[in-house]
Chain A
Amino acid sequence: MNNLAKFTIGIFATLGVAWLAFVVGARSQYGDLEPTAQSLEEDGSIPADSELFPIALSGIAQQGSEEYAALGCVACHTQQVRRVETGFDVDRGWGKRPSVARDYVLQEHVLLGNSRIGPDLANLGLRNYSDEWLHQHLFEPQSIIPSSLCPPSPFLYDEIEEAADSDIVVNSDAGERFIRPSIRANRLVAYLQALKQDYELPEMSFIETEDVEADLDDTAEQTVVASNDAAPQWLQDQINAGKEVYMKAAVGGGMCFTCHQQNGEGLAGQFPPLAGSDWVLGDKSRLIKISMYGLMGEIEVNGVKYNNVMAPPGIPPGSLTDEQIANVLTYIRNDWGNSASAVSPDEVATVRASLKGRPPMQMFTNSELSPTEQ
């Protein structure tokens, strides 16, 4: 300890061993990973003519990753889906499978991040957001998700007074605003859309998400059967499929029961009932709209006032397909003593077409819906 040279050698040796492991060792272990096919031949070779993954980012997306790094998005967003035993990421619908080292080998900036004030973005490109939605979100996140803490980035956009058709409309608190993305905003959106791990790799296949289905209690089961004794087979099928959506709390489900409860009674003062509800038994198009976009603000159901937020149903939010919406609405109109006409996927598609241009995730309010009241 008294000889400076020996002391220095000692402290560098302890540091050096860790360096050998984490820097030199890790590099020799997987520093030369290359893209590969989704599955390999039995002898471990890549099948001929197979597409290799991961694919490199396009030029503009590559530039977008630089914008992403420069703006400091990594301070709040991770880009990694953790292994199932160490995290909830797959259950949350943030990826089809855990991320692996090979997913990142072609990226120049690896921005895994270690803080999640915002959601994980490793698979943002798989969540079916339009470019327009992402631009609106970058310009003013709160115009789409009112509770968001994400800071707006108006400096990436030009605000236009006289809007052309190609301009993007943002419904901010200050009214409608028209914006035109700068080249930097376009790069960023190209990058965000390119974030996807939608392929399997030899070392990692997609995870079958377990249905976190609520245990159906027997009485509820019996009422369905009893009240629909005479129902035709197609209707019964639709009701059963709808019930699955209602009860499923995993990717592709609606998880409706968490608020409206298994017995459709809701929770007094918080979540309105569906059983015997004038909304459920009433106008179909209103129900369809709510099933696509959610609902916020004060409403009155069976004469009782509620004031709460219903996020766009589905996991991830707003992801229910036309058929799922038709099924689940048919189900809630025909259980717990309800009996009303079925909803067909075509009806849903018609309503969806009529709402073309409405930003995804933008919840409806009562006033928007009331003109169509029956």
Chain B
Amino acid sequence: MSKFLIPLGAFVLLAIVLAVGIKHSPEKGIIASPLLGKPAPAFTTTLLNDPGKTFDSAEFKGRWTLFNVWGTWCFECRNEHQALLDIAKRGEVRLVGLDWKDEDPTATDWIRQLGNPFDVIPTDHEGRIAIDWGVYGAPESFLVNPEGVVVHKFVGPLSLEAWQAEFLPLINKKS
């Protein structure tokens, strides 16, 4: 009997370790951002529809912002676009849409065809801003509070449901 005790004990132990691991493993592909609770990474860049003008991250201060990272090469961004338009219509936040590693003419066409949910569209032609934000795949969305601090990150196409479930409570809590 005791012959089986050690393997049995080892098995139970392993089973527990794996069960805990499975239970606590984050949803595949979603990686906690070290950015949460930290000030929005600083950047200044030109605008898509007006390259003579710039957007500076200092402009995050003063109101709630949904900072969305997108690109015309990003398949899921097309699926997300309607949700962004819906969120924009609700008027709870300002939408800043970082056009990530894109061609300006293509992006301009995209906005013209699908509609523009964004109050301002900063561009990141070289992908440097996205790196500072820890972006690893578009679309990604960040909620920035009026103090300019990143309070939430959402990976993947945003939906109105996700907006209401994950973002709105954070906004209503503080304002």
A binds B: no
